[in-house]
Amino acid sequence: MKRTMILLASLMMGALSFTLPSALTAQEQSDSAAVNIGSNRELFVDQYLIGSLDGTTQKLWPPRDEGPVFFFDQPWEGEHSAYMTVLHVGDKYQLYYRGGPTPGKGDGSDDRTCYAESDDGIHWTRPNLGFFSWEGNDETNILFDTDPILSHNFAPFYDTNPNCPPEQRYKALAGSEARGLVAFVSPDGIHWKRFQEEPVAKHKNYACDSQNVAFWSESEQKYVCYLRVWDGYWTGFRSVARLESDDFAHWGPEGGLYMTYGDTQREHIYVNQTTPYFRAPQLYIATAARFMEGKRVVTPEQAAACSVVKGYDGDCSDAVLMTTRGGNVYDRTFMEALIRPGLDPGDWVSRTNYPVRGIVQTGPDEMSMYAERFNAQPRKRIHRFSWKLDRIASVSAPYTGGEFRTKPLVFSGEDLFINANTSAPGTIQIEILDKNGQPIPGYELDKSPVLTGNWIEKKVRWADDKSAASLAGQEVILRFVMKDADIYALRFGSEE
């Protein structure tokens, strides 16, 4: 009883301590007013547009494991390589990661930042940077090796702020609890320097011991950072706090804005990997690591057969999907794993399956994320995982049929486009209702085409080739009537 009272007090204190200012999130605003989506692409990964479900469900689509694409087999890398980021800038894919080769030594004193490149996000090479040698070898891809603490969790991003100086187009954060967050800038992602000598943020709340991920938010017009904290006062969960900055030099609020998770069960979130979705930057996708502390799956014999470093066989982990649109709320519509551990016992040890930060396009209709496999083992590697574009989650109907309605929304543009597929007998029809739920003349269900097929982007028009243009700027509700079908995303606008 005493522990319960302490826990409740902790949660109440946390709620009081981290109250948000007036406009909390776009999600909250949409609960009481029409959602203005403009011509944004919107994915059905959260509750943002969901008004009602009738015989339909929201479904998570785990990506397909495409196998290993990168092995940490150089002598300066090894089994403790970690905290990885993939960027896609122009025609180049860039991979940043921590190398740490000393067996059994994961205390950060032997860390270095390494760099690799790719033309397609699938085949990777280590450029000879010539910056640092390793045991007499001058041909290495070591980006910097002068400060192991800052190499421990170097987390870069490409700055899309239109006012960013060219020499600072790449930015990064690194640090530790003792030293705080240290900022770096670069014109090309290869030649880096300190943004300023002193830390840009430091507080006792900031663990700073894993990736401290930052980016320029196009929708919020500010820099935001998500970093690891210990949640509450006595709850003891690894969690996430958010910081904001107008200039990348001054971050607040002091102590961080602690993220909340709705009424979902609390779990350890170790790395959050939050980043704007590259096809809908108003939506932040977090491919986070879920850490099951103390949950042993492999036997000591299995761990020994896999050469797991001592002390890394008593936990397990996987990857989960979270989303946010600003403010301090993570939506956890899907509690199921985004990436499950594989068949090999070596994939069921501590801190494996941690996602690499970044979702990037790797084909005309394909996008990829990446995750570590076989942590703390000599065979440590990165696997690529693929989806069709925008198909992370859906609203789905069974063979017997169902429907769903959006919340009232306001859009701009001429046509409705959907990302959807059906089975051969499956169908989709779309009716547009007014804000009171009544069919709008010309957009009734019997004026909708009966759609069957598979499309990344399907333009929808009603009878007599009627577009949605006449309804732009009005409050409307979309009603989807479906059979054996999935709808992943929608947008209004013109053809891209």
Give per-residue pLDDT as tens, 318-334: 999 999 999 999 999 99
Q: Where exactly are the structural domains of the chain? A: 34-60+393-493, 64-387
pLDDT at residue 148, rounded to an integer:
81
Token pair recorded at residue 154: 């170097």
User: Dihedral of CA 315/80/91/219: which sign?
Assistant: positive
Token pair recorded at residue 4: 């319960």
The helix (H) or strand (E) run that includes residue 150 is helix 148-151
pLDDT at residue 28, rounded to an integer:
45
pLDDT at residue 102, rounded to an integer:
66
Type of residue at 44: F
The CATH class of 64-387 is mainly beta
pLDDT at residue 108, rounded to an integer:
58
Confidence of residue 147 (pLDDT cuts 50, 70, 90): confident
- Report yes or no: 178 and 164 within 8 Å, Cβ to Cβ: no
pLDDT at residue 198, rounded to an integer:
96
Condensed to tens digits (0 to 9), the pLDDT of residues 187-202 reads: 999 999 999 999 999 9
Please, where are the H alpha helices in 59-109? none
Q: Is the pLDDT of residue 46 over 50?
A: yes
Q: Which residue has the tokens 């809908």?
A: 280
pTM beyond 0.85, yes or no:
yes
Confidence of residue 33 (pLDDT cuts 50, 70, 90): confident
Condensed to tens digits (0 to 9), the pLDDT of residues 387-431 reads: 999 999 999 999 999 999 999 999 999 999 999 999 999 999 999
pLDDT at residue 29, rounded to an integer:
44
Mean pLDDT of 459-479: 98
Outline where DSSP puts E strands in 398-473. Answer: 402-406, 409-411, 415-434, 454-460
The CATH class of 34-60+393-493 is mainly beta
**Residue 350 CB burial class (10 angstroms; 0-12, 13-18, ≥19):** buried
